[in-house]
Amino acid sequence: MVVAIDGPAASGKSSTARWVAERLGFRHVDSGALYRAVTWLALSEAGDPAGWREEAVRALAERVALSPTAAGFEPLVDGAAVGEAIRGTDVTRNVSRVAQLGSVRTWVNERVRAAGGSHDVVVDGRDIGTVVFPEAPLKIFLVADPWERARRRLIQRLGRHPQEDEIAEETEHLVLRDSKDATQTVQARDAVLIDTTFLTQAEQVDRIVALARARSRVLASDAADAG
Ligand code: CDP
Ligand code: CDP
């Protein structure tokens, strides 16, 4: 079973996917972490981002792997875990450039599909329900007001409540990244839209777990009818 969770930056995809996976006994796959790992490697080895060539970035991707862990999967670069290094500002500013490269997208999609082929998974990203797993039995599209997304991202990064001017600046960055990612960030026609602006994280997790359980019951009864 695949649960696909898509949506714009800081809408809550990764943390919600991790939590939903834990509740369902599935594994979490963070597809954005692969784009980030390739970007991190390109920043250290491919020079000025303005001059990045697609073939060179695609060649670097060969050094990135998606490795199983107890709870999910983590990206490795040259066999070593990259941890929080891929969440830095430099990676965040340049990741959309890497995500525009068709051959890198194909490479990421293959890695993510392989993970989903061997386990029940909750996968988060931008195009999981449309491109990577168009047949996923449950698709969620998470959205939230940009100011609220910026506020949450800053709390996550700074570990404190941000000032209004800090939120305003982060909102600018988020809206810009949304526009750079717009082509691939698509709500599938059969996705359930959840606006998390006024929800707690626990509420959105509960909704998705309930939807996943309902979907499993329908699939099981369809299978019984067919048998
Ligand atoms: O956590 P956040 O939403 O900020 O980003 P992420 O999920 O870590 O993804 C980082 C970047 O990877 C995004 O800004 C997109 O450019 C790209 N991405 C994508 O194009 N397709 C995906 N399925 C996942 C991420
Ligand atoms: O993966 P994505 O960039 O979409 O978002 P995230 O990193 O999972 O979530 C950004 C932050 O928003 C995290 O610190 C979440 O705990 C927090 N948050 C949320 O996702 N949903 C709420 N209703 C409240 C807070």
- Check whether residue 111 and residue 125 sit in a common domain: no
- Based on the fold, state whether residues 88 and 199 are members of the same structural domain: no
CA of 198, nearest ligand number: 2
210: containing domain: 1-24+121-214
d(CA 192, CA 211): 9
Q: Where are the beta strands (DSSP E) in 7-133?
A: 27-30, 64-68, 73-77, 80-81, 121-125
Residues 115 and 38 in one domain: yes
> Does the residue 33 lie in any domain?
yes
User: What residues pair up with 64 in beta bridges, in sequence order?
Assistant: 77
Q: Are residues 44 and 85 in the same domain?
A: yes
pLDDT per residue as tens digits for the range 135-185: 999 999 999 999 999 999 999 999 999 999 999 999 999 999 999 999 999
User: What's the CATH number where 46 sits?
Assistant: 3.40.50.300
The domain total for the chain is 2
With the most atoms of ligand 1 within 8 angstroms of its CB, the residue from 181, 183, 186, 187 to mutate is 181
Q: What is the pLDDT of residue 35?
A: 98
Residues 42 and 87 occupy one common structural domain: yes
Ranges 41-50, 68-77, 184-193, most confident = 184-193
Indicate whether 56 belongs to any domain: yes
Is the residue at 221 inside a domain? Answer: no
Name the pLDDT band for 43 (thresholds 50, 70, 90).
Answer: very high
Task: Supply the residue whose CA is at minimum distance from atom 24 of ligand 2.
Answer: 201
pLDDT for 227: 81
Parallel, antiparallel or unpaired: strands 73-77 and 80-81: antiparallel
Assign 82 to helix, strand or coil: coil
**Does 147 map to a domain?**
yes
Ligand nearest the Cα of residue 155 is 2
By the 10 Å C-beta count (0-12 exposed, 13-18 middle, 19+ buried), 144 is classed as buried
- Please check the confidence at residue 118 and state whether its pLDDT lies above 90: no
As for ligand 2, residues whose beta carbon falls within 6 Å of it are 7, 9-16, 152-153, 156, 196, 199-201, 204
In this predicted structure, what is the pLDDT of residue 220?
87
pLDDT digits (tens, 9 = 90+) for 72-85: 999 999 999 999 99
Q: What is the Cα–Cα distance from 80 to 53, expressed in whole angstroms?
A: 25
* pLDDT computed for residue 222 by the predictor: 87
